[in-house]
Structures are given as structure tokens and as C-alpha cells.
Amino acid sequence: MAFSHVLSVLVSLFLWGDRVQPHCRCLYGQDCWPSKNAFASLSIQLTRPLLYPQPPASRCYVEAQPLLQKSAFGTDNCSDIIHQYTNGTWRADEPGAMQNTNFETFLLSNGTIEACYLDVTLGSPCLQGSIPPVGVDARTVTDIQAAINFAKRSNLRLVVKNTGHDYLGRSAGRGGFMVWTHNLKDKTFNSSFIPDGAPSSERVTYDAVTFGSGVQWHEAYTFVHQHGRSIVGGISLGGSVGSAGGWIMGGGHSALSPSLGLGVDNVLQFTIVLANGTYITANAYQHSNLFWALRGGGGGTYGIVVSVTYQTHPSSPLTMSLMVANFTSPLVAQRVATEFVKLHAMVSDAGWGGYTSVSNTNFQMLFVKPNISSVEDANLKFRRFIEFARNATEGQVQNVYRTYSTFLDWYDAIFTSQVGQVGSQVEITSRLLPRDLAVHDPAKAAKLMLSVNGGVITNSVAGGAVSHIDPSSTGLNPSWRRAIAEVYSIESWPEGSSEDTIIRARNRLKSKTDILDKLTTDSGAYLNEASLHERDFKKSFFGSHYARLKDIKEIYDPTSLFVVASGIGSDDWDGALECRL
């Protein structure tokens, strides 16, 4: 053994003490990979057989590549795969499927791409890409504990996959070992919930609901509605986003947030399995530092969440304001967009939230507010802006107000479609729009948004109730408390594109980030809908809370078993998250 290597080992031992770990994780195909006997021993401890996740398109290659295993999930019929390919709920049910297919692929250092494309006529072989080749279908706490202990003992790269989309690719990992929590589907309602460990002097009761980490929002909304209540949750086509995974740990925004706060403002308790296999409860009274970190510190970072308990809210009517406008020139677009930004702070303060698409040619706006049973209040809030847009566009405006009896009625009417948001190659960049800029220089904000090629989406999910929370009360980036919206843009590329095409798309995305960055003074972004190519992810995603979040991670995960892209402590690892720096 060379002296330099011996010295390196001794230095590592000195610095890490009893926390020393091998320099690199063990990946599939390497000599260190566990034997069949080792996996057989693990399988005995589990309630379900081991998973062998495969790219969803692999069933279209069975005839050409007969060695591919038949899937235990869904159908093996290629025509059915093609039909379901953009269905987010179907993708969530597939352990080998990511919501966006670029995270199933892997770009090698020599420029080749390892993937399994749906279009078999491209002539590329069906390969595993970034999908972990083996994993655990976790149905119980003991399943998770067995998986964690196995991964730690074998020094594997551990990947936690829940459900829903993930624009940082945290639920994939080439050559890794997957823990799939999608099937933790328990749901309970408790009208007199008290957080564990609360002293008698602070025993406030809540109408609360507890979801297993695999419960998706379309399931959660129906369950809460059946109990005559409402809840702040994620909103996407088909509702495939998980209610107790990365959504909540990244902050958890909603159209209801300006009225009722973010997800992290409504959570009461987590149960979680730590890196040492211990199953604990984290809330304001037990492991309160971890409770603080889980509310904004990011998914897949501190352990594997088993369940989340939320406070619920009374069910109420809800009113929607919808508007579409077409622009005849960039000057008209600037005028209308400026007026929209100016309006934004006022409607957020009043509890309105929603989603808007803004470009130089088109404007589409959807706002909603609970506790309104008629359209009169909506008309009062939006009439002036709509009339301004109608005059500016010479009548190229359509608008409608509509009232729904409950949140679920609105959600089912607008978001029931299962297709159209997933199943393609997409990367994203975002920034939080500060209230101060919107109020004091709306023209600048509008100009920046319109200068992004293809326009932007504005998620009006901050301000109002979100701004009333003490920024230090959760681990969430403090920028959220000063913002009124999240502004984002995307880049995509065709399936089977070359490395050059992908790099050009990513460079365009970086240019968009540079534009959006001028909206803020602190580069604040929503880490669940953000870019992998941030110059300083610690500043953009976590702000001034990063140092404390990392200190807490050192307490609960001292050997960094849990490492995700642009997550707490990931700067201690190489870009592939395989070896320590």
C-alpha cells in the first residue's frame, strides 16, 4: 500500500473518529456490491419481495431484449405503456418511473446517454440509466429499518423514492439501493389530536389528519373531505404529488397558502426512521430541532419519513376568478403584466392564491380563495385589473367567476386530468418574487418576467398568511416570508436528444436563472421546483438557515447516509453523490 494512501486513511480516521465511512459509496456492478446471499438474508426481514425497478418503457423492448424481467407492476403491454406514459398517477405506481423522464436517464462522462426510450425506432438499447436496480417496497416501519441497516452495513448509495415529481432528481440514483415508500397509505383522522409529549399546560387539541408517506394529495383531499374538513396541500394534474414526502419537507405551497399558510405552517408532527434505524416522533416537544429542520430542510436528507400529521381547517365555499388575455404587442404585454404585479400584493394580502402564465403574447390567470360563497368579493378585487386589461388589449380578454361548495369540488373540476404534466424531459428554474419589488417597482418585475424566452409561470402561493409567520420558526428559507409568489420557467428537449442538445437546453435554463435572479436580492427559490445548476444552492434554497440545518443533520445523520442533489451536506460530495470530496 502506498504511503500516501496510508496517510489519507489515517487523516480520515483522525478527522471522523468513530464516524469514519469509506470514501465512496458502493454501487451496483462493483466488487463491493452485496452478494445474492446477502440480499436473500435481507429479503427474509421484509414484508414484501425485493423490488427490481426497471424503466417503464422496458416492456416495449421485451421481444428485442428477452433478458429483461417482466414487470410486477401494471401492464406488460407496450400499447398500454404508450397510453399511460404521461399519466402522473400511473407513473407514481411504477417503482422505476420518474415523473419526468430525463431523471430516468444518465449522461456518462464520454457524452453517451444511458436510457430506455419509449420510441423504440430511435435504435438505442434499453438500459437502466439512473434508476436504482434493486430496492425495498416499504410497507412497515420494520421494512424501512431493515433497508436502512442493510444500506449502511453495505455502504450503499441509498435512494428514497416516494411519489410525485422531483425536479432535482432526488428520487433517482444510478447504481443505488432504493427504499420505495409509495405504498405507506395509512390515513387516520383525530378530532382531538394532541402532539406527543405536549405538557399538560400546552395541551391544545387539533382536528388533525395523519398520512402515511405514500398518500397522494388526490387521496388525501377525498379523505379529509369525508370528515367535513379542508387541508392545505399540493396541487397538480391528477394529484400524484405525495402529501408526506418531499412536498412538505421542501415547504409545501398551495393555492390556499395566502389564506392558510404553507404546508410547513400546518404540520404538527412527523414520524421518521433515522440513519441509525431508530424510529422516532418529531414535533414541537420531542426532537424539536429535527422538527424545525424537517419543515424546509428538504426531503431525503434527515431520515425516511413514515407519516406526517397536519391540522385541518373547516370546510367552506370557495370562489375562483379566471381570466385569459391575448396581447397584440410586447408594449401591451408590459402594461398588463405591470398592472398584474401591482395587483398581486393586494390580492395575496386578502388571501387569494393561484397560478398565472405570463408571456409577450398571452396571459392566463386563475385565482381562488376559500370562505367566499359569492362572486361579489372576487369582482371587487379583480374588476379594475380586468377592465384595464380589456382596454389595453382592445377587448382581447375573457373572464369568469365561479363559486364551488367545497375545495374538493373546485379541485375535482379543475385538476382531475391525469395527463399532460409529466412523461417528458423537463428541467426548471425558479425565484421567489419579493413583495417589496412588486409594490415599489412592478414595472421592473414585469419587464424581467417578460424578458424570459417563452414567458414564465407565476405561482401565487405566498404573501398573506405566509408572511405572518416568524421566519425563524421553521427551517424554511426565510425568503418565503418576504415573497408573494414563485416565478419559474422551464426548458425541455426531445426524447433521444444528444448530449449537445441537452447541454444547450441547460445553458438556456441558466440564462433564464440569471434573468429571474434579478427579481430578488437573495436568490431565494423553491427547492422542490428549482434548477440543478444553481451557482450557490445553499443560498438559493436555504438562505441563512443552511448552517443550522447542516448542524442538525450532523446530529441525526453523522455519516451522511442520506445525500441528495443540492441538499444539506451535498457540497461535501462529488457531483454524482458517490464519493466524498
Q: What is the structure's pLDDT at 529?
A: 95
pLDDT range class, residue 391, cuts 50, 70, 90? very high
pLDDT surpassing 50 at residue 533: yes
pLDDT surpassing 60 at residue 69: no
In a domain, 13, yes or no: no
CATH number at residue 299: 3.30.465.10
pLDDT range class, residue 500, cuts 50, 70, 90? very high
Average pLDDT, the chain: 93
Backbone phi and psi for residue 426, each to the nearest 5 degrees, phi listed first: -140, 135
Q: Residues 464, 351: contact at Cβ < 8 Å?
A: yes
Q: What is the structure's pLDDT at 23?
A: 86
Query: What's at 37, amino acid-wise?
Result: N
- For the stretch 290-312, pLDDT in tens is 999 999 999 999 999 999 999 99
In a domain, 509, yes or no: yes
pLDDT range class, residue 75, cuts 50, 70, 90? low
In a domain, 471, yes or no: yes
In a domain, 51, yes or no: yes
Range of the domain at 282: 187-315
pLDDT surpassing 60 at residue 505: yes
Domain shared by 64 and 129, yes or no: yes
pLDDT range class, residue 74, cuts 50, 70, 90? very low
Domain shared by 335 and 483, yes or no: yes
Domain shared by 305 and 325, yes or no: no
- Out of 180, 211, 228, a domain closes at 180
pLDDT range class, residue 76, cuts 50, 70, 90? low
**Mean pLDDT value across residues 394-399:** 96
- Out of 291, 315, 339, a domain closes at 315
pLDDT surpassing 90 at residue 13: no
- For the stretch 32-54, pLDDT in tens is 999 999 999 999 999 999 999 99
User: What is 301-314 written as a DSSP string?
Assistant: SSSEEEEEEEE-EE
- Out of 281, 297, 315, a domain closes at 315
Q: What is the structure's pLDDT at 4?
A: 40
Q: What is the structure's pLDDT at 233?
A: 97
Q: What is the structure's pLDDT at 22?
A: 61
d(CA 541, CA 519): 15
Domain shared by 308 and 331, yes or no: no
Domain shared by 43 and 143, yes or no: yes
Instruction: List the Cα angle 545/215/266 in 5-degree steps.
Output: 40
In a domain, 542, yes or no: no
Kindly state the percentage of the chain with pLDDT values over 90.
88
Q: Residues 107, 169: contact at Cβ < 8 Å?
A: no
In a domain, 391, yes or no: yes
Q: What is the structure's pLDDT at 8?
A: 39
d(CA 60, CA 209): 41
- DSSP code of residue 24: B
Q: Residues 434, 444: contact at Cβ < 8 Å?
A: no
Domain shared by 452 and 338, yes or no: yes
- For the stretch 348-386, pLDDT in tens is 999 999 999 999 999 999 999 999 878 888 999 999 999
- For the stretch 141-196, pLDDT in tens is 999 999 999 999 999 999 999 988 889 999 999 999 999 999 999 999 999 999 99
In a domain, 417, yes or no: no
**Mean pLDDT value across residues 519-527:** 96
pLDDT range class, residue 332, cuts 50, 70, 90? very high
Residue 70 burial (C-beta neighbours within 10 Å; 0-12, 13-18, 19+)? exposed
Domain shared by 101 and 116, yes or no: yes
**Mean pLDDT value across residues 483-505:** 97
- DSSP code of residue 571: G
In a domain, 379, yes or no: yes
pTM, two decimals, is 0.93
CATH number at residue 392: 3.40.462.20
Q: What is the structure's pLDDT at 163?
A: 87
Kindly state the percentage of the chain with pLDDT values over 70.
93
Domain shared by 474 and 515, yes or no: yes
pLDDT surpassing 50 at residue 579: yes
Grid cell of 426 as nine digits: 423537463
CATH number at residue 176: 3.30.43.10
pLDDT surpassing 90 at residue 216: yes
Domain shared by 434 and 530, yes or no: yes
**Mean pLDDT value across residues 314-322:** 96
Q: Residue 41: helix, strand or coil by DSSP?
A: helix
Domain shared by 339 and 467, yes or no: yes
**Mean pLDDT value across residues 528-540:** 96
Domain shared by 129 and 224, yes or no: no
pLDDT surpassing 50 at residue 2: no
Domain count, the chain: 3
pLDDT surpassing 70 at residue 101: yes
pLDDT surpassing 60 at residue 109: yes
Classify strands 158-161 and 177-180 as parallel, antiparallel or unpaired.
parallel
Domain shared by 389 and 353, yes or no: yes
Least confident of 7-21, 331-345, 477-491, 528-542: 7-21
CB neighbours of 539 closer than 8 A, spacing ≥ 6? 522, 523, 546
For the CA atoms of 291, 297, 301, 302, the dihedral, rounded to the nearest 10 degrees, stands at: -20
d(CA 473, CA 521): 22
User: What is 94-155 written as a DSSP string?
Assistant: -TT--SSGGGG-EE-TTS-EE---S-GGG------TTS-SEEEE--SHHHHHHHHHHHHHHT
Nearest to 312 by CA among 278, 266, 352: 266
